[in-house]
Amino acid sequence: MADLSLKHVYKVYSDGTIAVSNFHLDIEDGEFVILVGPSGCGKSTTLRMIAGLEDITAGDLFVSGQRANMMEPKERNMAMVFQNYALYPHMNVYENMAFGLRIQHVDKNEIDNRVKKAAEILGLTSQLKKKPKDMSGGQRQRVALGRAIVRNPSVFLLDEPLSNLDAKLRASMRSEIRRLHNRLKTTFIYVTHDQVEAMTMGTKIVVMNKGFVQQVDAPMNLYDYPENLFVAGFIGTPQMNFYNATAFLSEDKVSFELGGYKLETSLETYPKLDKLTLLKNNQVKLGIRPEHMSIITKPSKGDVYLEAEINLVEVLGNETVCQGNIKGTDLPISIKINRDDSIREGETYFVKIDMSKVHIFSSETTNTLCPRIPSYNYVSYSKKGIAGLEIPESYQEVLKGIKNPSVKIPLSAICEGTTYKAKIVNKEQIKNKYLLTLELGNGVRLFKDVDYVIEGDTYTFDIKPEMISFFEDGEEIISSIPENNLLKGVLIPSKRPVTINGKVKKMKVFDYQIQDLVIRPNDDRVNKIYALLGKKFHLHTIEFSFAPSNVVLSNEGLKGKVEEILNYGENATFAKILVGDVHIFAKINSNETKVGEEVFVSLNADELGVRDVNFNVIIF
């Protein structure tokens, strides 16, 4: 039995190909985890790194709390089942299952007990004397599973084990593997490109594409709450319909124009809608699942609908799938309804849309604009404030001349405190967090995420004023203090002793250079970056990030000039400093720094975030 943790794992081949990028995942003991995605997405490579069959270029693998990067495969106590059964044709079933134990010199009686127990679990007791050529594909796959079971591994690794089977056998083996997991209570990690296998077998699914993790979630959460276009299109059969649309916001409604049709609904339909992003760019991608539309004879008042010209009808037992185009356009449409033999090809029908199930994605980032846990609240502001929330005096002066300002309040700006009290009108558990919906009065609601259970129906809190910002018609008029400062830099060659796998070697490595400041990273950082970038590290532009609270003003470092002191109340004073041609912010003691003063900014190499701009890879 084992839990696993992969921390920022990369696989980069010698030709520079990045097969797996920044893979981060925690697997609990006994979980059934599915890695799913199209061919070439990096799922099998990830599985092979876990098994020890591929070296990890950078990052860490922990098995039951122990770092396993340098462990030999046989030391990891994992059993792997491949797509190819790889059975020995000259051996019978018993001998195939026993062979691995024999070469490990396991006691003969112990081998016999393990093989017979595994055969009983898999229904192979009567097949033990048969050779693989005399067995069906499903039976051979069970033998391959049995060969893994007899090892009593802490983790089972299965790499597309059902791909060679026909549809009926795959369905049967899916059930058998699920029952096997329930019986053994062991950690399973299963690779497949088949979304049906993923949705029906796993307790946790990792969707991958082009080496990156797209989303990690329970099966139905992937279906109901896809975080981006890729996941939305990958999960679900038939595939989700996608349309380019123009969005329009009013005080209480949102509408979408596509193909000459207007789809309008109340803003309350999307309580978590990222209105700010929508105001900045109202070109969106709408995602509508075929099963969230219905064919009707005549629209009723309040129905949201369009018309579709049907050119293909597929009757699938109790379901009918209709395909065609939105009337008057070349936009394809797929509709999945209960069986209806009256639908005819070549006819035009009214199609009603369930707007509460419509997904809205950014046309720029392809990420959802209705996340399960929003990053911030975006609410209207009046002269009376926001339902009693206090606004710094300096803000109020700027806001006097603004007609319709709105305020952006990050969820992270809402913290435990005693200043404000709100009624909790909803509590939603999302993975290991709880999302609270808070009502402040006058119809104003805020979201706040917490990682513990809140008892009762009230929540008291403070708001960090330095983290809020103000907008008019989507344009920022008062900025917040950024969560991180960003400065561009490079890696410069350096030669010095470096510790690699416990051994000290003198080698050509690098230091960080930000403008005229040179900082030496620790050996672990050197090893990881060198493994990722290789000998051409000096050709890459690096973006360094650091929190304002990690900036230290001292007698050496980056030279800058204080342009402004921003006071947000007790323990919340910041200096705006011009360093070169870039502004950075530092959290300071309000009495220690003056406007116009020249200062030196000291940075700790171990606290810097590091992103390779060329590869667009976050390294730390």
CATH code where residue 342 lies: 2.40.50.140
pTM of the model: 0.87
Nearest-angstrom CA–CA distance, 250 and 259: 21
Q: Which tokens hold the place of 96?
A: 């195939």
Instruction: Check if the beta carbon of residue 506 is closer than 8 Å to that of residue 516.
Output: no
Q: Domain check: are 8 and 80 in the same one?
A: yes
Q: Does 447 reside within a domain?
A: yes
Nearest-angstrom CA–CA distance, 496 and 306: 69
Instruction: Check if the beta carbon of residue 545 is closer than 8 Å to that of residue 485.
Output: yes
Exposure of 471 in the CB half-sphere (CA atoms within 13 A): 18
Q: How many domains does the chain have?
A: 4
Q: Does 421 reside within a domain?
A: yes
pLDDT in tens, 411-448: 999 988 888 889 999 999 998 899 999 998 777 889 99
Instruction: Check if the beta carbon of residue 168 is closer than 8 Å to that of residue 52.
Output: no
Q: Does 391 reside within a domain?
A: no
Q: Which tokens hold the place of 380?
A: 């209207």
Q: Does 390 reside within a domain?
A: no
Q: Does 428 reside within a domain?
A: yes
Closest by Cα among 38, 400, 312, 354 to 194? 38
Closest by Cα among 324, 283, 290 to 307? 324
Q: Domain check: are 285 and 226 in the same one?
A: no
Q: Domain check: are 69 and 140 in the same one?
A: yes
Q: Does 367 reside within a domain?
A: no
pLDDT in tens, 212-254: 999 999 999 999 999 999 999 999 989 999 999 999 998 889 9
Contacts of 143 (CB under 8 A, 6+ apart): 85, 87, 93, 96, 97, 122, 124, 127, 132, 135
Q: Of 231, 246, 267, which one is at a domain's C-terminal end?
A: 231
**Dihedral-angle region of residue 370 (phi above 0 means left; psi in -120 to 50 means alpha; beta otherwise):** beta
Q: Of 462, 478, 494, which one is at a domain's C-terminal end?
A: 478
Averaged over successive runs of 10 residues, the pLDDT of the chain (620 residues) comes to 87 86 92 94 94 89 90 89 80 88 86 87 85 84 83 88 79 85 91 91 94 94 96 94 95 91 94 92 96 93 93 92 94 95 93 96 95 91 62 70 84 88 92 91 86 90 88 85 92 78 75 88 80 71 91 89 84 89 88 86 89 79
Nearest-angstrom CA–CA distance, 391 and 407: 10
* Dihedral sign (CA 511, 517, 522, 527): negative
- 490 burial class (0-12, 13-18, 19+ CB within 10 angstroms)? middle
Closest by Cα among 367, 398, 406 to 281? 367
Nearest-angstrom CA–CA distance, 548 and 584: 8
Q: Does 323 reside within a domain?
A: yes
Q: Domain check: are 591 and 502 in the same one?
A: yes
Q: Does 434 reside within a domain?
A: yes
- Its domain, for residue 329, covers 238-362
Q: What is the CATH number of the domain that holds 138?
A: 3.40.50.300
Closest by Cα among 12, 28, 32 to 20? 12
Nearest-angstrom CA–CA distance, 82 and 31: 20
